[in-house]
Structure 1
Amino acid sequence: MGPDLGGDQHFRHGGPQPRRRQTGLLLSMLMLGGVAVLVVTVALALRESDSSAAAPEPGAGRAAPLGTPDDSTAGTPQSQAATRTVTADALYATGPQKTVGCQEPPVPLSKQANVKLYYSNVVACLSKAWAPKVQAAKDTFAAPRLVFWTGVTQTPCAAGSTVSFYCGTSETLYLKYTDDIKLWSRSPDAANRAFTRMWATYTAGHEYAHHVQQLTGILTAARQLQYDAPDQDARLELSRRLELQASCLSAVFAGANQSSYGITGLDLTIYQKYVQGQTGDENFRGGPRDHGARASHQYWTGRGFTTLDSVSCNTFTATAGKVS
């Protein structure tokens, strides 16, 4: 889900990058220092119930152990089936993702029409990229619906969200376009604009990844495991596995289309150092550990961006330390 812009929080993001001068390296380093300060002081972690699905609310029960899909003795029958889905879904065997030649729209994220165009373009690219993978996993592909909103929005999943999110029940990406405008308007420098663009691209990819999880059954299965989990700690770990997988799958798309999209130079530095490296639960001191620590986020997004393969995003067979 997208960033929370409430209170006095500040964000640095991006838009079309200005042409760099010969002195661009020193200037970029100075601007990156400003981004670092802002990223540390803002909540970049993904919040809210952005991956809600038609599944029961977490409650009492016994959690099926992850990483043992063939263990027929552990948990309820529903837990056993759910464990098999999240750990051994056919999506993991579909191989590396190929580029779809996705190109970034050269528009400033300064007004509603441009933000809608930007996200619509990225989501269309995501559909081209993920449709063959979902179909190769023997699941039915359908593109998600898009809803652009501000203020308050009502969905079948939740009410009162403050940031962009995905609702599995309606298979819809709810994108709060005003957040991107605020981020874009913070500063006109190249680093801020690069951050805004890379964050918007990442947000679209993360929320779309929840849609892929929904289509393949991983999202609903994970919710079943949360329902059967014995305690809050176990439920939070399952949430982190789900969210870190979505971030990893977002990075798979970004890596596969890195060349055509132009994630190079300052954009690549911003993407790797701040989007990948500074997104984590630490940004919400006192909040629930439901999306993963910065180190875990950097690890999984790095795997996705480098390997381009969904199997590298199988967080559900990873050790607990990898999804902290």
Structure 2
Amino acid sequence: MDWQKGGSSNNVEVDSGSGGGGRGFGGGGRMGIGGLIVLAILGWVFFKNPLALLDQGGSQSYAPTQTSVPAQVDPQQKAFVSAILHSTEQTWGEIFQAKGATYVDPKLHLFSGGVSTACGGATTAVGPFYCPSDQKVYLDVAFFQQLQDELHSSGDFARAYVIAHEVGHHVQKLTGVFDKVDAARRSGAPMDGADGLSVRQELQADCYAGVWANHSQQELNWLQPGDIESALNAASHIGDDTLQQQAQGRVRPDTFTHGTSAQRVKWFKTGFSGGDMDQCDTFAGKP
């Protein structure tokens, strides 16, 4: 991925280390694809059960933070993050404008170790996530370094896909999806499970990541051979079914929160092939 072709966003923040402990996340914070990739990496690299970090796969609450330290951000890493975020800003700004709406750029907050947010506190183990309460994407600086050191980078576009997925949650916030899902949750609608609202919400963010990939490629022609495959490979490794089978030797659809590997690949490809966010209605019919 020739990401240097992109511009640079002014919405990247670097944590000063002033944050401390915080309460765990409730229903507001979304772990998203990034957190699952972190869990998968921990399992692959350190031969641990990745679902143990998710309380046996059944909890979405995040642990209280450890005291954070000032984030030491490599200039190249920040430049990459800024370029991808800027591309998402361009894409979604144009899409919203075409629909007669205004896209409000999210902030992307780089931290190290732990962070306090408007949704509560989180540690490195959570991975990249989106907090709708402050409309920020949070990314631990160690995440991409771990991809580079332990998995030999796995492709810039796979990393860009993670950011685009979390920005997809921001799109959901602006379009009212978060509020609708929260209202449905309060009314007793099922969140977890193969047909649950959590799965549908995550798959829609995957689809939105595909929409971004389509538009950014048309604008910048920055994808190289193997880039799309690297993103699809990442998606195929962090489906609920794949993680559960690897960790527990069995699959429990009733505990799904993010969708199967096949679903994640399907919805990213849906967004990428058409570049149309209207095709990303994962809440209609079977996901």
RCO (CA 8 Å, sep 6+): is it higher in 1 or 2? Answer: 1
Aligned residues: CA RMSD: 3.2
Cα 1:127–1:233 change in 2 (3 A) is closer
1:104-253 to 2 correspondence within 5 Å? 112-161=74-123, 162-186=126-150, 192-193=152-153, 195-231=154-190, 233=192, 237-253=196-212
Within 2, Cα distance between the matches of 1:252 and 1:231? Answer: 27
1:284 aligned residue? 243
Cα 1:226–1:196 change in 2 (3 A) is farther
Deviation of 1:213 (Å):
0.9
Within 1, Cα distance between the matches of 2:99 and 2:193? Answer: 28
SS where residue 166 of structure 1 aligns? strand
Structure 2: which 5+ residue stretches go unaligned? 1-31, 63-71
Cα 1:42–1:230 change in 2 (3 A) is closer
Q: Does 1:266 align with 2:226?
A: yes
Task: Report the AA paired with residue 118 of structure 2.
Answer: P
SS where residue 43 of structure 2 aligns? coil
- Higher-Rg member (1/2): 1
1:297 aligned residue? 264
Structure 1: which 5+ residue stretches go unaligned? 12-37, 51-109
Contact residue 166 and residue 173 of structure 1 kept, 8 A: yes
Deviation of 1:212 (Å):
0.9
Cα 1:201–1:151 change in 2 (3 A) is same
Return structure 1 stretches of 4+ with deviation > 6 angstroms: none
Paired residues in the alignment total 226
Contact residue 139 and residue 215 of structure 1 kept, 8 A: no
Cα 1:154–1:281 change in 2 (3 A) is same
Task: Report the AA paired with residue 267 of structure 1.
Answer: D
SS where residue 160 of structure 2 aligns? helix
Contact residue 49 and residue 158 of structure 1 kept, 8 A: no
Cα 1:215–1:8 change in 2 (3 A) is closer
Contact residue 226 and residue 234 of structure 1 kept, 8 A: no
2:16 aligned residue? none
- TM-score w.r.t. length of structure 2: 0.69
